[in-house]
């Protein structure tokens, strides 16, 4: 279950002046029939318990994501430091402002075959970013998820990723 802020007006194809929320509700009802009433009740209860504030309702998760993001970024810095000679780093990453993913650029292609090799040989999983580029791109990028991991699991996963990079670039 998710949510969307859709209070803006839409335009085009006879929709001028209508709220996006109304258009999405209409489409949703045609596509998914009904959202589980149990899911709606759980989310509604959580919102009511937090004065209808998504920010308050997700405070615990936000703290965990921030902690985990900081751990991932520190671990990437530790395992893949900038070269002392000033040459370009072989592994780089983004610094997301939030969320539960970091994107890492590798010095080799990160496709399904490499993912399988990574999983079998090093026990580490990641998502190839090429799937997020419908026009092509992201061939050397991976997405790391850290939402439900413990700090120890993050450390272990990054150590395994570093071993994969050393193996592929040796």
CA-CA distance, 28 to 10, in Å (whole number)?
A: 16
Asked whether residue 41 carries a pLDDT value surpassing 70, the answer given is yes
Strand ranges inside the chain, DSSP E: 9-10, 18-19, 92-93, 101-105, 127-128, 141-145
Place of tokens 């590798």: 106
Mean pLDDT over 142-150 rounds to 95
**What pLDDT does 109 receive?**
97
- Indicate the pTM of the whole model: 0.76
pLDDT at residue 1 above 70?
no
What pLDDT shows up at residue 28?
Answer: 73
Helix axes 151-169, 59-79, angle to 10 degrees: 30
Q: How far is CA 15 from the centre of its chain?
A: 33
DSSP H helix total and E strand total for the chain: 6, 6
Let me know how long the chain is.
170
Q: Is the confidence at residue 15, as pLDDT, over 80?
A: no
Q: How many CB atoms lie within 10 A of CB 102?
A: 20
């Amino acid at each position: 279950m998710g949510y969307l802020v859709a209070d803006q007006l839409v335009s085009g194809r006879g929709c001028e002046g209508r709220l996006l929320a109304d258009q999405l509700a209409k489409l949703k009802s045609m596509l998914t029939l009904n959202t589980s009433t149990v899911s709606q009740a759980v989310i509604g209860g959580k919102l009511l318990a937090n004065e209808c504030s998504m920010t308050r309702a997700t405070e615990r998760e936000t703290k965990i994501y921030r902690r985990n993001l900081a751990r991932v970024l520190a671990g990437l810095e530790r395992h893949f430091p900038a070269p002392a000679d000033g040459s370009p780093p072989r592994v780089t990453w983004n610094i997301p402002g939030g969320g539960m993913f970091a994107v890492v650029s590798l010095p080799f292609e990160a496709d399904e075959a490499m993912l399988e090799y990574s999983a079998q040989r090093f026990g580490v999983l990641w998502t190839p970013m090429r799937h997020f580029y419908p026009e092509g791109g992201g061939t050397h990028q991976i997405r790391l998820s850290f939402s439900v991991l413990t700090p120890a699991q993050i450390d272990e996963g990054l150590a395994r990723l570093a071993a994969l990079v050393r193996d592929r670039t040796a």
